[in-house]
Amino acid sequence: MVTISLCMIVKNEEKILARCLDSICDLMDEIIIVDTGSTDKTKEIAAGYTQKIYDFTWTGSFADARNFSFSKAECEYIYTADADEVLDRENHEKFRTLKRRLLPEVEMVQMYYGNQLSYGTVYNFDRELRPKLFKRLRTFQWIEPVHETIRLLPVVYDSDIEITHLPEESHAGRDIEIFQKMIDAGQKLSLRLMNLYAREVLIAGSGQELVKAEEYFTQAAEDPQTGEEQLKEAVCVIVRAARIRGDYLKMFRYAMKDIAGNEGGVSEVCYELGEYYLDEGEYQEAAIWYYNAAYETASILNIHCSQELPRLGLCRCYEAMGFYEQAESYKKEAEELASFAG
């Protein structure tokens, strides 16, 4: 049976830390808690489970804190968990079986992360595989019978274990602040971080945060080196921000960039046009764009813009036009989709 170090980074998690630890502590051979500045009883609660509690001065980087936590681990494998995760009874037993049967050549285990469409998270899938268990010391091996080389890619096992995500609140404001600091410092966002920044401000950001992000995404949209997908992501943010500010000329200019693009429009842009025309009292025009968002296009950042949100818009349009039966039909569709999303 392999040994596992649990590595967690926490801050002010007194409400939920015990819930997380109670669901996994007996599976762990070592528990390491790295606190980044709690002012509540987080460290006192952690002390009920482990003596290996470390303070880490926050650097603005979660990667720095994760690396510090990993440096304290001594077991064969490292398991990462956030305080808002829970392992239910069924998946607890699956984890125990995995621990007992895990082959030593496996260097990374992926587990399903569930309940992601609730609580304003930035993901478009309610359930997806994520790397959660890592071999602490990696051994390099030669492969290929001729022209031999070192195997660089890790041996990954996709398990059927599912972790339930149960956050108490959205962390969007915290994440958006980190993105903005990176941009202000002149750091270039990777394509992955650019995508996540767009999701954060579009799905969970405040109007002020969205407008503040507009300049960055406008520059990206005007950069000839920006790819087609990144351009579409940038346009989604720009169109929403411009509509909020009342800059309708800019809103339409960038909306047309998306709609006239090689791959056609996306749901997020169609939805924003629906919102604009609804506010203007142009219900038939609004209904056209809501319909396009719901049935003719796909979302790239916010799945809700292709599901319940445009259907609710259609409901409002048809109610305003006096077509109550159609309005009720769209309302039911929206409720079913919202219920499915959690």
Residue finishing a domain among 125, 147, 165: 165
Residue finishing a domain among 165, 184, 200: 165
Left, alpha or beta for 147 (phi > 0: left; psi -120 to 50: alpha)?
Answer: left
Predicted local distance difference test score (pLDDT) of residue 172: 63
The string of DSSP codes covering 254-295 is HHHHHHTSTT---HHHHHHHHHHHHHTT-HHHHHHHHHIIII
pTM, entire model: 0.75
pLDDT tens per residue, range 266-300:
999 999 999 999 999 999 999 999 999 999 999 99
Residue finishing a domain among 165, 189, 218: 165
Say yes or no: 24 and 95 in one domain. yes
Find the CATH number of the domain harbouring 19: 3.90.550.10
Of the given ranges (50-54, 203-207, 212-216), which has the lowest mean pLDDT? 203-207
Decide if pLDDT at 252 tops 80. Answer: yes
Decide if pLDDT at 169 tops 70. Answer: no
Predicted local distance difference test score (pLDDT) of residue 118: 58
By the 8 A CB rule, do 85 and 163 touch?
yes
Domain residues for 98? Answer: 4-165
Say yes or no: 42 and 122 in one domain. yes
Q: How confident is the model at residue 60 (pLDDT cuts 50, 70, 90)?
A: confident
CB burial of 311-341 (b: ≥16 within 10 Å; e: otherwise) equals: bbbbbbbbbeeeeeebbeebbebbeebbeee
pLDDT tens per residue, range 227-247:
999 999 999 999 999 999 999
DSSP state of 31: E
The average pLDDT across 165-173 equals 71
Q: Which of 159, 166, 195, 201 is nearest to 180 (CA)?
A: 201
Find the CATH number of the domain harbouring 275: 1.25.40.10
Say yes or no: 186 and 323 in one domain. yes
Decide if pLDDT at 328 tops 90. Answer: yes
Of the given ranges (172-176, 232-236, 318-322), which has the lowest mean pLDDT? 172-176
Say yes or no: 121 and 253 in one domain. no
341/144: higher pLDDT: 144
Say yes or no: 160 and 201 in one domain. no
User: How many Å separate Cα 161 from the centre of its chain?
Assistant: 19
Sign of the alpha-carbon dihedral angle for 300, 303, 304, 307:
positive
Say yes or no: 148 and 263 in one domain. no
- State the Cα–Cα distance between residues 239 and 271, nearest whole angstrom: 10
The average pLDDT across 100-104 equals 94
> What residues does 158 pair with on adjacent strands?
110
